[in-house]
Amino acid sequence: MPYKRTGSSRVWITVAGVRRSSGTTDWKSAEALEHKLNHDKWKEKELGIKPPRSWEEAVVKYLKEAQGQPSYRWKVAVLRWWSIRLDEPKNIRQVTRDRVAGICDPVSSITPSPSNNTLNKKVAILHNLLRKASEEWEWIERVPKFRTYPIPEHKDKWLTLTDWNRLSNTLPMDLRQFATLSLATGLRSGTLVALQWSQYDSIRRVLNVSGTGNKRANPIPINDTATAGIAVVARAHASLRTCTARNSIRVR
């Protein structure tokens, strides 16, 4: 039964034996809220029906658990994309296969397409969130099975010596040195740019690369081409230079 608390303008209610504010000053609204919340608690206890959880609650909890992961920023962007298109439902049970298909089908390609691969990754993030809500958080009873869209078959493409020579001749000297090191070591540009001299072992001829996806140190053996490229960097700073403030190699 709702009641007025001394010093509070809002009506207070009792839900499952616990007193709380109704958030309203209207007696009838507070009474209706109390009845609904107690009914939800009864259904959860007696029938096993869990109370509704909002999309916003699910996203906040999901991103909190994803903090520190290499894919965190991607997950934030994808969930923002879904929030706009799903209109942030008050009950995540409203995220159904048909609703998701209604969003994805119009922007997908019937034939295998690279854009479908991006769409599949977005659907996978959504599925992972709902799987956590079901299996870990126990917020919902089941996870919808979403459709996946056709993607092109993977084709290995190897850069031939002729291809490299043609590319190398078109690059300015600074980018040529950078591309040579990248090709010789197999490192991505971001990793290569962030290298520090302390990571280079000239005796063992390895680069000790850390901060990869698995967060473990990854020694990269270097060949004569990479060694020669690093020697150019060490001797002259025409294309690459040593940033003494951070003791790292940077592209001008």
pLDDT tens-digit map of 165-211: 999 899 987 788 888 888 888 888 888 888 888 888 888 998 888 75
Residue 106 DSSP symbol: G
Q: Is 102 exposed, middle or buried (0-12, 13-18, 19+ CB in 10 A)?
A: exposed
pLDDT band of 217, cuts 50, 70, 90: low
| Reduced DSSP (H G I as helix, E B as strand, rest coil) percent helix, strand, coil of the chain, to 5 | 50, 10, 35
- Quick one: average pLDDT of 49-60? 90
- The 10s digit of each residue's pLDDT in 144-168 is 999 999 998 877 778 888 998 999 8
Q: Across all residues in the chain, what is the average pLDDT?
A: 84
Please give the residue that has the higher pLDDT: either 239 or 147: 147
- Burial string for 115-128 (b: 16+ CB within 10 Å, else e) reads ebeebbebbebbbe
Asked whether residue 41 carries a pLDDT value surpassing 90, the answer given is no
Decide: pTM greater than 0.75.
Answer: no
